A = this chain, B = another copy of it.
């Protein structure tokens, strides 16, 4: 069994779904720094997907700084990299924009939207205070 929940669906690339699942698991605390990450072949077998596809996800996760590769040994969840306030804003801006646009079309008022955001924060059990 994989150490992170994932269920492949159609519509999005498989390697992207893997990346997103790992990001979700790390953000929620399901996966922690130093944790052993399953081998490419193990994930491949579990998801019944080509090893090359999993490899593509691992490569992206590594470049995202979420995974550390120990040559000949395996992968581990990396320590979080520090980012500047500018980088934070640039990463969040497009997501915020899409959310606000969708809320407008759904006629969801700002107060409700803020409450939904608070609820989602709790849902993912994010410990935001433990970081800077």
Measured CB to CB, the residues of A under 8 A from B are 23-24, 26-28, 66, 80, 82-83, 87-89, 91-93, 95-110, 113-114, 116-118, 120-121, 124, 126, 128-129, 131-132
Number of copies: 2
The interface residues of chain A, by DSSP majority, are classed as: helix
* Partner of A104 from B82, B101, B128 at Cβ < 8 Å: B128
A98 proximity list for chain B (CB < 8 A): 95
Closest 10 A/B residue pairs (Cβ): A27-B104, A107-B131, A109-B128, A96-B120, A88-B106, A27-B101, A95-B99, A104-B126, A110-B128, A100-B120
CB-CB under 8 A for A100 and B132, given A89-B116, A92-B116, A116-B89: no
